[in-house]
Amino acid sequence: MTDLPNSSLHLETLAVHAGRTPDPTTGAIAAPIHLSTTFARDDQGEYSRGFVYSRLDNPNRRTLEGVLAQLEGGTAAAAFSSGTAATHAALQAIGGPGRILAPRDCYHGTRLVMTDTLAPWGLEVTFVDMDNLAAVAAAAMDPTAAPVALIWVETPSNPLLKVTDIVAIAAIARDVGALLVCDNTWATPLLQRPLALGADLVVHSTTKYLGGHGDVLGGAVIGQGDHPAFGRVRQIQQVAGAVPSPFDCWLLLRSLQTLPLRMRAHCDNARYLARHWAAHPAVERVYYPGLATHPGCVVAARQMSDFGGMLSIAVRGDRAAAQAVVTHTQLFGRATSLGGTESLIEHRASLEGPNSTTPENLLRVSVGLERMEDLAADLDRALSLALQS
Ligand SMILES: Cc1ncc(COP(=O)(O)O)c(C=O)c1O
C-alpha cells in the first residue's frame, strides 16, 4: 500500500492509506516505533535492509517522508526537527553565498534565519512585496545587484494574509534561473499544491496543521528526488542532523490521517468568523483572503481550494486596545503558534519585538475546531469588555 498512485486517488484517501502497510513481522496495522539508533549488517556484511544509522534514515521517518511527498505531489521529502530547520536547509540549497528575494512580511522566524543566521555566511536578501509582480520582476532583474539564486514565497503570509501568485512568481524565477521555494505551512497540501504551480521546493512547519494537535515540533522540505536542490537538502538533513525523532514521525503520521477533515472544519469556521467580524463595529479590518474585499481574493480562489483557518483582525483602537481584548477571551488561548484543534489568539507585534512591521492593533487568530458560534460569542464578549475598560 506504500506505492499508492497519487495521480488517481483523492487527497482524503491518500491521507488515510498512504504509508500504511501492516507490519510484516506482526501484522500490526498501527506501525511500530523504531527507536534503534543503529541497524545491523546482514550475513554478507551489507546493509541490505536499507538502514544504517538513524540520523541518515529511520523506518518511521522514511514512511513519513513518503506520505508527505505523496500529499504534496512530489517524489521525495526530507523531514526535519522543526519548520525552521527545514527553512534553513531549503535556503542552503543554493549551495553557498548568493542573493535571494523574500517577502517583506514573511514569518519573522524565517526573516531571522535569513538576516541573522545565514547573512554572515554570505546570504544577501532583498525583501520585496511578493504580491506586487512588477516589484518582484524589477528586483529579480536588477542589473546593479547580484543575480538571484532563490525566490522565497509564503502564501498566505504570516500575519497579514497576503496572497502571492505562485504561477506568476514561478515564471519570474524561471526567467532569471532562480529556485522557487514556497512555504506552504498555512495552506497545507489540502488547499494548495505549490509544486504543481511551478515551485521547486515546498517547505512546511509540520508543527502547525500537519501535526494539528500542538504536541509535535517538526518540518519538511518536499520536491522531486532527482532535482539537484533537493539533493542538497537531503545532504544537509543527513549531515547537519536536525532530524525528527521516530516518535515525532509516528505522531505526525497519525495526525496526517485526519488532516483533510480537520482542514475542512478549520476553513468553515474561519470563513464564518471572518464574515462575522467584518460586520463588527469594534473591528476595523479583517485580514482573510476569502473576503471579496481582500486584495488577494481572486488569486487565492484560483490557486487554493479553500482559504484556510487563519485570519487576523485589526481592532478599532491602538496597541493597548488590542492587548486588552486578548485578556478577556475564555475559549481562545493566549499563545503563539497555529493549526491546532484549539483556537489561539495573539498580539503579534508584541511577539515580533521592536523591529516588527505588523500593525499595533492587529490580533492574529488561529481558528480551531470548536463550534463556530461559541468562538464568535467569546471574542465578541472580549471586544465589548475591552471597549468598556
Ligand atoms: C509560515 C511558517 N513557517 C515556518 C515556521 C517555523 O516553524 P517551527 O516553529 O516549526 O520552526 C512558522 C512558525 O510559526 C510559520 O508560521
Q: How far apart are CA 308 and CA 161, in angstroms?
A: 10
Catalytic, 208? Answer: yes
292 pLDDT more than 70 = yes
**CB 207, CB 218: distance < 8 Å:** yes
357 pLDDT more than 90 = no
**CB 247, CB 110: distance < 8 Å:** no
Over residues 110-152, the pLDDT tens digits come to 999 999 999 999 999 999 999 999 999 999 999 999 999 999 9
* 96 — pLDDT class (breaks 50, 70, 90): very high
Class of residue 104 by CB neighbours under 10 A (exposed 0-12, middle 13-18, buried 19+): middle
Computed over every residue of the chain, the mean pLDDT equals: 96
Residues within a 6 A CB radius of ligand 1:
82-84, 87, 107, 109-110, 154, 158, 183, 185-186, 205, 207, 217, 219
Over residues 105-117, the pLDDT tens digits come to 999 999 999 999 9
* 215 — pLDDT class (breaks 50, 70, 90): very high
Catalytic, 183? Answer: yes
Residue whose CB lies within 8 A of the most ligand 1 atoms, among 183, 184, 208, for a mutation test: 208
Contacts of 81 (CB under 8 A, 6+ apart): 217, 218, 219, 242, 243, 244, 245, 248
| The predicted structure's pLDDT at residue 352 | 84
1 pLDDT more than 50 = no
> Which whole number is the average pLDDT over 210-234?
98
Q: How far apart are CA 367 and CA 270, in angstroms?
A: 6
Q: How far is the CA of 11 from the centre of ligand 1 (A)?
A: 23
Residue whose CB lies within 8 A of the most ligand 1 atoms, among 161, 205, 337, 352, for a mutation test: 205
> Which whole number is the average pLDDT over 249-259?
98
> Which whole number is the average pLDDT over 63-92?
98
Phi, psi (degrees; rounded to nearest 5) at 32: -70, 160
Torsion from C-alpha of 322, 325, 330, 331, nearest 10 degrees: -40
CA-based nearest residue to 154, from 196, 128, 182, 178:
182
Q: Would you list the DSSP string of 7-33?
A: TTS-HHHHHHHTT-PPPTTT--SSPPP
Q: Which atom number of ligand 1 is nearest to the Cα of residue 219?
A: 10
Grid cell, residue 52, equals 544504517
| The predicted structure's pLDDT at residue 281 | 95
Q: Which of 99, 107, 131, 288 is catalytic?
A: 107
Catalytic, 306? Answer: no
CA 157 remoteness from chain centre: 10
pLDDT cut 90: percent of the chain above it = 94
Which domains does the chain show, CATH number per domain? 11-256 (3.40.640.10), 259-388 (3.90.1150.10)
Q: Which residue's CA lies nearest to atom 8 of ligand 1?
A: 83
6 pLDDT more than 70 = no
| The predicted structure's pLDDT at residue 388 | 79
Residue whose CB lies within 8 A of the most ligand 1 atoms, among 88, 106, 107, 163, for a mutation test: 107
Q: How far is the CA of 188 from the centre of ligand 1 (A)?
A: 13
4 pLDDT more than 80 = no
Q: Which residue's CA lies nearest to atom 14 of ligand 1?
A: 337
**CB 328, CB 379: distance < 8 Å:** no
Q: Which atom number of ligand 1 is nearest to the Cα of residue 186?
A: 1
Q: How far apart are CA 232 and CA 83, in angstroms?
A: 17
Class of residue 167 by CB neighbours under 10 A (exposed 0-12, middle 13-18, buried 19+): middle
E runs forming strands in 15-137: 76-80, 98-103, 123-128
Catalytic, 107? Answer: yes
| The predicted structure's pLDDT at residue 5 | 53
> Which whole number is the average pLDDT over 59-71?
98
Q: What does pTM read for this prediction?
A: 0.96
Over residues 263-282, the pLDDT tens digits come to 999 999 999 999 999 999 99
